[in-house]
Amino acid sequence: MFENNKGIGVIGAGSFGMAIANLLAEKNKVLLFARSPEKLAQLEANKANQSQYIHDNISFTGDLQKMGHECSLLFPVVPSVQFRDMMTTISPFLHPGHILIHATKGFYVDVDLANFTTISRKNIKTMSEVIRETTSVVRVGCLAGPNLASEIRAGKPAATVIASKFDEVIEMGQRSIRSSRFQVYGSNDILGIELAGVLKNYIAIATGAITGMNLGENARALLITRGMAEMIYIGRALGATSEAFLGIAGIGDLIATCSSPDSRNFTVGYRLAKGEKIGPIIESMNEVAEGVRTIQIVKALSEYYKITAPIVHVMYRVIYENLSLEKGIKFLMRYPAHVDAEYLKSNGTT
């Protein structure tokens, strides 16, 4: 149990929030927050979420004050576009003694993406930076890795990384959620781990498109590998080192997300390849595919920092400028390349 006899809170009742709650509930009493009254009523009435089993140790609330008062360890798992508002709302009920470990793979941006002219590091924040800016919480961490919710729900083995500048955050998270089927690694490189989790999303859209076009495993492997280079270049520009991108939360998450139809971002790319338009795809999805928004942000960042990032530029043109995927793939195949794994030495600037 949680060492101070308080429960653990999960903020967000989507598929991954529910998966995290079920893992935590194997050892702890868990309080799960659902924002929608309809969703809350459904959870309380059925003890199930879209046929997903809900552990008996999980109870439900729509009251953030209750979350703050009853839980010292909280896992926010909400989409990035809602994250700042959620933290601002719960902030009065948090204090410096709380520990927050988020599992949101997206950016907060302080510009209007529909009308922006440029985006630099000063315009974006990771979710841990949002937590520190909007609340009094000091001990912050993130959870990231190859964690497809459907596989966790099915009890299949998986691993994740909990990253924080505070060792006690990592240790508390590990004790709370680790099990015989869910390994938890630690890292003090919270920025690198967060960026790895965010940036792989747009690569997953591209690989979904490759798969939908039936271009084969060679092409998908090529795109994943070159996508890793783009991730590292962007990460360095934003202040991260390369190491986080080469571990579980980087290459591990990238492989899983770029290979599975259970990945929302992969599914977006696959459906684009089958001729659907991005608007109807997004509208039909039950949960957010963070990669669509990430493409806008990373494209602007790469231009500001003069980073070579052909994959994100092609996907931007496909989604926002109606470039055909066929022409986009031909462009990528003709893109000049000279040295393999040059990102191990190069900074990626042109």
245 contacts: CB under 8 Å, gap ≥ 6: 192, 195, 196, 228, 231, 232, 235, 251
Residue type, 129: E
Q: Which member of 66, 200, 330, 345 is catalytic?
A: 200
For residues 291 and 268, the answer to whether their CB atoms sit within 8 Å is yes
13 contacts: CB under 8 Å, gap ≥ 6: 32, 33, 34, 35, 39, 40, 43, 49, 60
- Using alpha carbons, list the distances in angstroms from residue 131 to 77, 99, 103, 308: 12, 11, 12, 31
DSSP, collapsed to helix, strand or coil, labels residue 43 as helix
H/E stretch holding 197 reads helix 190-212
Dist CA 332 CA 70 (whole Å): 52
Residue type, 4: N
What tokens does 33 get? 């927050």
| Crossing angle of the two packed helices 190-212 and 290-304, in degrees rounded to 10 | 110
Backbone φ and ψ for 340, nearest 5 degrees, come out as -80, 140
Is 200 labeled as catalytic in the residue annotation? yes
**CA atoms within a 13 Å half-sphere pointing along the CA-CB vector of 135:** 29
Backbone φ and ψ for 256, nearest 5 degrees, come out as -65, -45
DSSP, collapsed to helix, strand or coil, labels residue 341 as coil
Residue 106 DSSP code: -
119 contacts: CB under 8 Å, gap ≥ 6: 109, 111, 297, 300, 301, 304
The residues annotated with a catalytic role in the active site are 200
